[in-house]
Amino acid sequence: MAVNARRIRDETSKLAFLGGGVVGIAIAVLLWWLMPGGAPVEASQTARHDVPTLPKPSGHVQLAEDDKARMRTMLQQKLETAEDDFDRQVWVADLMNVIGDRTPDRNEVAHIASLVHRYAAQFGLSPELVLSVMAVESNFDRFAVSRAGARGLMQIMPFWKQDIGSAEDNLFDIETNIRYGCAILKIYLDRHDKTVRALAAYNGSLGKSKYPLRVFDQMRRFKAAAGDLRS
């Protein structure tokens, strides 16, 4: 009897040890799963350009997938290089006198103004409106970064690269930033029947008028410089 009792205790101890090991492994797996980066990454997070899902500001206006598809198409369009007409050259020269004091590099100012005019024409926008958005957003500082993380001349949030562009896009590049800004602005203008709402949506302040009024104030100056209005 004593031998049998001892054997039972030994077998019970082995089972308890093995059981504890299994439980320990299960707990370790559970902890690994709950740790940041432990669980498998959702396929949807890396489906496009291997870009992780980026948070959007609370004031961001969500767009439908067909709107995003349109913007992706716009970004992929090649800039029409044949638009070296006299009107554009005159427009750029006139605006140089207004925005030249905000950026010391005159060649950069001319480059910005020329690209604004080209992409505005290509996307069906008012070049003075694009320039006004840029003035309010960054004051023509191509390396501007907002507290929310918006970048460049037209203050493009990085999540737009995930939604409509490519992870390799450099939002501090002048042409890339202007191209993004024009595409985003065009979609909001098409979606909202009033320019005030479209501008507020662009800025993430839909329902408020402070930002649109600042843009309109700049626009009056630029239109006057371009000869459309008299100050």
Looking at residue 113, what is its pLDDT?
93
Q: What is the mean pLDDT of residues 95-123?
A: 88
φ/ψ (deg, to 5) at 121: -65, -40
The rounded distance, in Å, linking the Cα atoms of 45 and 169 is: 18
Nearest CA to 204 among 220, 188, 225, 183? 188
Given 83, 128, 137, 175, the catalytic residue:
137
**Least trusted range by pLDDT, from 35-49, 97-111, 143-157, 182-196:** 35-49
Neighbour tally for 3: CB within 10 Å: 7
Q: Taking the CA atoms of 19, 22, 25 and 31 in sequence, report the sign of the dihedral they define.
A: negative
- 3-state class (DSSP) for residue 171: coil
The two tokens of residue 49 are: 């350009």
Q: Is the pLDDT of residue 204 over 60?
A: yes
Contact status, residue 100 vs residue 109, Cβ threshold 8 Å: yes
The overall pTM is greater than 0.85: no
Q: What is the DSSP letter of 49?
A: T
Looking at residue 23, what is its pLDDT?
43
Q: Is the pLDDT of residue 191 over 60?
A: yes
Looking at residue 206, what is its pLDDT?
87
Length reported for the chain: 231
Q: What is the mean pLDDT of residues 68-74?
A: 83
Looking at residue 86, what is its pLDDT?
82
Looking at residue 61, what is its pLDDT?
60
Higher per-residue pLDDT: 45 or 190: 190
Q: Is the pLDDT of residue 33 over 80?
A: no
CA–CA distances in Å: residue 15 to residues 2, 9, 21, 29, 188: 20, 10, 10, 21, 67
**Least trusted range by pLDDT, from 9-13, 145-149, 177-181, 207-211:** 9-13
Q: Specify the CATH number for 65-225; select among 1.10.760.10, 2.102.10.10, 1.10.150.20, 1.10.530.10.
A: 1.10.530.10
The rounded distance, in Å, linking the Cα atoms of 167 and 155 is: 17
Concerning whether 137 is annotated as a catalytic residue, the answer is yes
| CB-neighbour burial class of residue 147 (10 A; exposed 0-12, middle 13-18, buried 19+) | exposed
φ/ψ (deg, to 5) at 223: -65, -35
Rounded to a whole number of angstroms, the CA Rg of the chain reads 28
Q: How confident is the model at residue 83 (pLDDT cuts 50, 70, 90)?
A: low
